[in-house]
């Protein structure tokens, strides 16, 4: 029987951190939400523009944005009747960019 390596507790994620990370990946498990995050990494957009760019209905885009907002991946800025969305912070862009690089490597 081989040697079993047990990670020291300091190397393990806390249960709370592991759960939040899994929820983040779950929020990004939908192709439309990945597209939204990718677009919002480039610039702030309103729901109508996002719907047009993705050829998805405005209610569907709003639903996806609500999911992303609940996970604090995107934030909203209101200007009159319009709502403009952007990434909540740069970490989300880094996460998606790393995912894109990974996928591009898989496809080579």
Q: What does the pLDDT read at residue 1?
A: 60
- Look up the CATH architecture of domain 20-106: Orthogonal Bundle (1.10)
Q: Give the ranges where 43-80 is alpha helix by DSSP (H).
A: 47-54, 58-70
Cβ atoms of 97 and 40 closer than 8 Å = no
Dihedral sign computed on CA atoms, order 59, 63, 65, 70: positive
pLDDT, tens only, 38-90: 999 999 999 999 999 999 999 999 999 999 999 999 999 999 999 999 999 99
Residue position matching structure tokens 């719907």: 51
Cβ atoms of 31 and 96 closer than 8 Å = no
pLDDT, tens only, 76-91: 999 999 999 999 999 9
Q: For the packed helices 31-42 and 58-70, what is the interaxial angle rounded to 10 degrees?
A: 80
How far is it, in rounded angstroms, from Cα 39 to Cα 19?
26
Structural element, H or E, at residue 95: helix 90-106
Q: Return the domain boundaries, the chain.
A: 20-106
| Farthest-apart Cα atoms in the chain, separation | 68
Q: What does the pLDDT read at residue 60?
A: 98
């Amino acid at each position: 029987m081989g040697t079993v390596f047990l990670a020291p507790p300091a190397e393990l994620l806390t249960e709370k951190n592991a759960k939040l990370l899994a929820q983040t990946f779950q929020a990004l498990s939908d192709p439309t939400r990945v597209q939204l995050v990718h677009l919002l990494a480039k610039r702030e957009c309103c729901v109508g523009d996002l719907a047009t760019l993705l050829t998805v209905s405005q209610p569907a885009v709003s639903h996806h944005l609500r999911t992303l907002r609940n996970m604090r991946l995107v934030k909203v800025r209101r200007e009159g009747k319009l709502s403009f969305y952007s990434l909540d912070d740069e970490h989300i862009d880094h996460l998606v960019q790393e995912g894109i690089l990974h996928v591009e490597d898989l496809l080579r």
